[in-house]
Amino acid sequence: MKRKEGFLLVESIFELFIVSISMLIVLSTFIGTFFLLKDALEEIIDLNILSNTVMEIIIVSKNEMKNVTSLSSGQFSSSILGDSVEGGKVGFSFDSLTQKLLRYKYSNITKGYTFISQKITAFSYDGKFIIVTLDRDYIIKLFVKDLR
């Protein structure tokens, strides 16, 4: 009898060991899947923010801004203003320290700044093209007529 009880004790210890290893495998697989999905969702969010930024820059520069009438460029900031299609002024303001791009609008209805993105690394206007660099990877060049 004693021998059989010892065998049952060893057998139950092995069963507990196998169950605990199985649980660790399942948990590690779940955690790996969770982190993989988290990284994929963060990448999707970043790409969505970049695409929204690109769309807003194109909409403002192509649909709202007729031309460029004012350009100011400093060491840490630059701004481009032009005539709006609806009347008034519309343009961009960029701060290189915070890497923020703002849309400026002054008309009878709206006045002030609207935040576009904080993923801009460079912003310039060379007389014909608005050049925007997004996350050091993507560059947008948009033609806008200069009336200065």
Taking only the tens place, the pLDDT of each residue in 77-93 is: 888 998 888 888 999 99
Reported pTM: 0.72
Number of helical H runs and strand E runs in the chain: 1, 8
User: Using CA atoms, how far apart are residues 128 and 6, in angstroms rounded to an integer?
Assistant: 88
The residue behind tokens 């709006």 is: 84
* pLDDT tens, residue by residue, 16-73: 999 999 999 999 999 999 999 999 999 999 889 889 988 998 898 888 888 888 888 8
User: Using CA atoms, how far apart are residues 109 and 140, in angstroms rounded to an integer?
Assistant: 30
Range of the domain at 14: 1-148
Least Cα distance to 82 among 92, 94, 91 occurs for: 91
Domain count along the chain: 1
Strand partners, 142: 130
Length of the chain: 148
User: Looking at the predicted structure, is the pLDDT value of residue 2 above 60?
Assistant: no
* pLDDT tens, residue by residue, 92-135: 999 988 989 999 998 888 788 899 988 888 888 888 888 888 88
How does residue 3 score in pLDDT terms, banded at 50, 70 and 90? Answer: low
